[in-house]
Each structure stands twice: as C-alpha cells, then as structure tokens.
Amino acid sequence: MRNSERVKVKNLLESGTVGAEVAAMGWVRTKRGNKSITFIALNDGSTINSIQVVFDMAVFSEDQLKNVATGACIAVRGKLVESPGSGQRVEIQASYLEVLGEADSATYPLQKKGHSMEFLREIAHLRPRTNTFGAVLRIRHALAFAIHKYFNDRGFIYLHTPIITGSDAEGAGAMFRVTTLDPNNLPRTPEGKIDWSEDFFGKEAKLTVSGQLEAELGAMALSEVYTFGPTFRAENSNTPRHLAEFWMIEPEMAFYDIQDNMDLAEDFLKYLIRYVLTSCADDLEFLKKMYDDELVSRLQLVVDNKFERLTYTRAVEILEKANQKWEFPVFWGADLQSEHERYLVEKHFSKPVILTDYPKEIKAFYMKQNDDGKTVRAMDVLFPKIGEIIGGSQREENYQKLLSRITELGVPEKDVWWYLDTRKFGTAPHSGFGLGFERLVLFVTGMSNIRDVIPFPRTPKNCEF
RNA sequence: UCCUCAUUAGCUCAGUUGGUUAGAGCACCUGACUGUUAAUCAGGGGGUCCUAGGUUCAAGUCCUAGAUGAGGAGCCA
C-alpha cells in the first residue's frame, strides 16, 4: 500500500464519510477480541485518538493477526462504518491487512497500562508512541508554530544568531567548550598554557548561552527581530526546571521602552496560550484528565487576567509585610527566591506578575540604568507553578554608561567591542526579553518535569539517544 | 553542588521485631468466550532483592562506601 492511498486517523475520525472505502497506516495500541472478531486501536500520531479497526475472523485467519500486537505497525484497507460500540463515531471494517513491522510482544517495553515518567525517560526512543508524549509533542509543535506566526504577523524578522560563540561575555552561566584539539596532546605556549591559537577557530570557542547580544545587532538595523534556537548551559543543575540544552526565544526591538516591552511580553504569552487552547483542545483535555485537573483553568486564568505590574521595591515591601516565614530573608537588594516569587504570584495576586526596576547589582551589565542610580529597567514575568518564565529589560543605549558598567564588572572590552559599536553608531532606545521554550511547554502541558517536554533531554550525566 | 528519599519479576509495588521455598496486580505464554473499549475468565512460565564490603548461627531486611533515579534548594530560562 502506498502513502497516497492513506488517510490520516485524525481526518477519518473527524470527517470520514461513512460507507467510503478507506486506508490507514499506523501503530497498534491495543488488540482484543475472540475467535470470531478482533479489535485493534490504531494510532498514527495525527491525533490523541485512535481509530478502531475491526477484523471479522471469518475473513482473516488467526495466523494473520497473531503477530499484530501492541507496538506493531500495520496498513489496513476497509470500509468506514458507523460504530455500534460506544467509544467512537466510526470504525474501519477491515478487508485487507499488511503488516509493515512486527513488535515482539515479549520484549516490546510499552504496555497498555500506565508507565512512570522515569521509566519512559529510559526509553525516550519509544516514548513518542505513548498518548502522553504524543500530546506533549503536538502541543510543543503548535507553540513553536504560533511563535513564528505571531512574530511574522507583526513584521519581526527571524534572525539566526550563532550557536558557536567566541565571546565569553554573555554572562548567563557556565558554557560548554567547542574544540577540535586532541585532549591527549594539547598544544602549549612557551609558558605551558594551552595554545588556543592552534584550535579550529584560532581562539577559545563555546556553545552559546544566549543570542541576545547578536539579536541587538539585528534590531539596530531591522527594527524588530527575534531568535528561536538552541541554547546551552553547562551548569550542574539537577532540577525539574533545567536542561543543559534547551530552546529559547529572544525578541529584540528598536524604539521599544520597558513599557512597550512588557506590553509585548504579555500579549505574546496570551496569544500563545490562546492558540493552544483552541488548536490542541483534545490533547489538553487528555493531559487534564490524566495528570492535572486544573490545567485548563490555569491557562484560562493567564489569558483572562491583566498581568499585575509592580516594581521590585514594591514587591519587597509586600514580602516584608507578609505573614509568612521565609527560608531566605527578604530585604531590599536581595535577589528574590523561588519562595518569594511563588508567594507573589500564587498567594498575593493570584495571577501572573511582572516585576520591574531591580537593583542593578543583581542584574546584567546591559540593562538600562534608571535615574535613581540604584536600579535598572529589568522586567521578569512570573507565572504560577513555574516561576520566572520571561526575563528581559530595556537595554542601555548610552555608550558612556554602558562602557562604565562593563568596566565596573570587569567584562573585557576586546570581547564586546562590536556590541559597544552599536552604541557608538546610530544608537537607539531598545528592549528585549528571553523566553525559555521548554518552560512555556511545561506550563502549557502541565507536565511536572522539563525532561518530559523535550523529545531527547540533555541533563547532567544524561546524553543518551 | 547541598539536603532528603528511593532502588525487590518486563512494568507498578508489598515484604512485619533479621528466621523455612521472596509475593501481588498488570504485561507475557496457553486455553475459553460471536462487538470489545486499559475487554473478561481459568491456568502457566518468569528473580544477580542496584553494586562492593561488613555485622550475625542466619541479611531483601542492620552498618559503611559507591552507582543510578526522584523531590527540595542553589544557579537560571
């Protein structure tokens, strides 16, 4: 059977004409039956739902169906009929069966019954075949598509920033080294240090931790740009919210101040969630039923409410007055801890919160300094359950102020001369933010571990598949 | 990286104050059943109790170290 004959399961279930001769291909989820009739639930990933294929054992032999067990891949042809059973609108009355790939039922690891997420991580090559991962991966795709659509519809240019970087100044954490040198035979300088001039790029190279600095270069020409690509952090983070390799979206906009930046971030997040609510309703309903009863209402909460905007200073006042014991003390100048952020979002305001104007000491060198000399125009968007989902700021566009901050923090000027150049030649007020893609998928799917919202997670001590 | 917990059949787990031959459900195999919905019913096979030491007449159970996993924290997106 050829693909041209095949109809996707989603189309058969939603709009298949009763009485039509149809063909389908997919993987067997379950088989049940007796000597006279066999039922197979067939899934091709086009939807969470499987189509029921009915085999009349007067037409098919037991031998033909013997090796068609959970996990096998088959092609079937038959008549689409109204289902007398209660679980589905239509089913295929099979007249032809082709086994494309058997799956030995004694050794195939996936069963009809539930598996733990930990076990499924060990078989990440097969877990897309489960209902849960099918739903998560379809939602992940929908979000990725919606991100491009949102920006494209608003005239943003998709800018491909480098994955390998020679700059160590991004300041967002430990980096992975990229080298072609033989670790057992490293070239040395006369002083005995490693001679990086002998390496592939003639200098030390790393995997990027952020495309922001390059995105700013794009914004200084194209006005509005965004990046959407892989990002790497070599931190030894072992939490349900961190990956060593993850995807990040970083819009960067000329002429936007911090208010414009917040407006964009809020509108963007609401658009994405609304998109999934309407286009992935089946998958969300499944995840809600299986894992998280409040999933849809939590998404609706974000879409329906104006995000609360307040300054860091005001937030510290609220936390100091809160009748609550903190593991970490709250005072002006301290970085806010998870417990503080969660209190603001989940207890005090009960909706997403945007905090602005943080002390400059706890934020990056490129953020625009306020006139008070103490704070910078940073903004963090905090969400229920997962905490910080977006971090951004208005950027410092004044050459002298940026240079003095760089000097204060000891960033080598030779590493960022090109970044400083944008402030020398035609500088402009501009802003941007970073959104961790998997954090967004985590929030939208209600999964509890970030390793379960990316097909092949990379974490400390884990690089299989 | 720190703290806590866990590791027993393919999967999920039970296993009492240390004591005879380590159990259950599901999965798998065999059989029954003329429309099932994670089908049902009957029977069967299946174990390096994470690893290495130690205590003891006796260790799945107690002690030490390690490995792996999870949760919390930090770092952050």
What DSSP letter does each residue of A412-424 carry, written as one string? -HHHHHHHHHHHH
Q: Which nucleotide is nearest to A88 (CA to C1')?
A: B37
Q: How far is the CA of A47 from the C1' of B25 (A)?
A: 30
Where are the extended beta strands (E) located within A363-427? 375-383, 387-394
Residue A309 CA from chain centroid, whole number: 25
Checking each nucleotide's C1' against the CA of A438, the nearest proves to be B77
Strands, E, within A61-211: which ranges? Answer: 73-82, 90-101, 157-158, 164-165, 177-178, 205-207
- A312 by Cβ neighbours in 10 Å (0-12 / 13-18 / 19+) ranks as buried
What is the CA A449 to C1' B18 distance in angstroms?
Answer: 39
**CA–C1' A75–B65 (A):** 55
B27: residue with closest CA to C1': A111
Give the predicted TM-score (pTM) of the model.
0.94
Could you say which nucleotides of strand B lie within 7 A of any protein CB atom? Answer: 1-2, 10-13, 26-29, 32-39, 68-77
CA distance A120 to A112: 13
The one-digit pLDDT tens for each residue of chain A (465 residues) are 899 999 999 999 998 899 999 999 999 999 988 888 999 999 999 999 999 999 999 999 888 888 888 899 999 999 999 998 888 899 999 999 999 998 888 888 888 777 899 999 999 999 999 999 999 999 999 999 999 999 999 999 999 999 999 876 656 678 999 999 998 899 999 999 999 999 999 999 999 999 999 999 999 999 999 999 999 999 999 999 999 999 999 999 999 999 999 999 999 999 999 999 999 999 999 999 888 889 999 999 999 999 999 999 999 999 988 888 888 888 999 899 888 998 999 889 999 999 999 999 889 999 999 999 999 999 999 998 888 899 999 999 999 999 999 998 888 888 889 999 999 999 999 999 999 999 999 999 999 999 999 999 999 988 988
> How far is the C-alpha of A147 from the C-alpha of A261, rounded, in Å?
16
Distance in Å, residue A446 CA to nucleotide B10 C1': 29
**Which nucleotide lies closest to A248 by the C1' atom and the CA atom?**
B77
Closest nucleotide C1' to the C-alpha of A459 = B69
Distance A327 CA to B61 C1' (A): 37
